[in-house]
Structure 1
Amino acid sequence: MLASKLGGRAQAAFLNLKDYEFDAVSDEYVASAKPGNFQIGKSFRKERDQAVRFAIWNAGGD
């Protein structure tokens, strides 16, 4: 449902980043949905930071 709203693919992963799966990936967004009671800790923030940096790098951004 999220992927269709974003106009992208559901449950996508990057080939060079196999440990990370995203709930939706489109030309403009990389999304990872979590339940409302999900506790965001240091390890989650680190993983998402690395994943977003990787996505930006693969898109040719800075």
Structure 2
Amino acid sequence: MSQDCHRLREWCGCPRDGGRTTASVLRLNTRGGVAPAGACNPTTHPTARVPYTADYLFLATK
């Protein structure tokens, strides 16, 4: 399982199975997540908050 899958499972509070059965994670029904317009200046604005929602489907192997 990829590091992204591990982080996603941890973030959503999914039951821990040692990462052995999760084969893939699908991100569905995404809304938002568009980067802010304009130039990026990490000195004056190191973080940009972007509203985002999605449904996640975890696919497992037997």
TM interval, shorter chain, is: under 0.3
Kindly indicate which of the two structures has a greater share of residues assigned to strand. 2
Instruction: Please report the TM-score for the alignment, with normalisation by the length of structure 1.
Output: 0.24
Asked which structure has the greater CA Rg, the reply is 2
Instruction: Please report the TM-score for the alignment, with normalisation by the length of structure 2.
Output: 0.24
